[in-house]
């Protein structure tokens, strides 16, 4: 089972939809985005991260 707690906080500005391995650190096994209380993202970062994950899903990189 995957540990749902990210080990280190990433720079959200450097993250793109192409960084699938980094995105998977912040999603569950079923593909749901982890909440802010676990990821420790700010509200702005969480909204940006959500957009990036949705882009990756649209390109079928994350299923």
Beta carbons of 18 and 53 less than 8 angstroms apart: no
Comparing CA positions, the residue from 19, 21, 30 lying closest to residue 52 is 19
Range of the domain at 31: 14-58
| pLDDT score recorded for residue 33 | 95
Report if residue 6 sits inside a domain: no
Is there a domain that residue 19 lies in? yes
Report residue 51: phi and psi, to 5°.
-65, -40
Q: In this structure, is residue 37 part of a structural domain?
A: yes
SS3 42: coil
Is 27 strand, coil or helix? strand
Q: Is 49 within the bounds of a domain? A: yes
Q: Tell me if 33 is assigned to some domain.
A: yes
Residue 8, domain member (yes or no):
no
Residue 51 belongs to domain with CATH number: 4.10.640.10
What is the per-residue pLDDT across 3-44, written as a single tens digit (0 to 9) for each? 666 656 678 888 899 999 999 999 999 989 999 999 999 999
> From residue 42, how far is each of 1, 24, 59, 62 by CA, in Å?
27, 19, 26, 23
Q: Is 3 domain-assigned?
A: no
Number of independent structural domains in the chain: 1
């Amino acid at each position: 089972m995957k540990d749902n707690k990210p080990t280190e906080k990433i720079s959200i500005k450097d993250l793109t939809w192409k960084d699938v391995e980094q995105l998977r650190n912040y999603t569950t096994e079923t593909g749901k985005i982890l909440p802010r209380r676990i990821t420790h993202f700010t509200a702005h970062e969480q909204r940006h991260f959500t957009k990036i994950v949705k882009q990756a899903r649209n390109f079928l990189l994350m299923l």
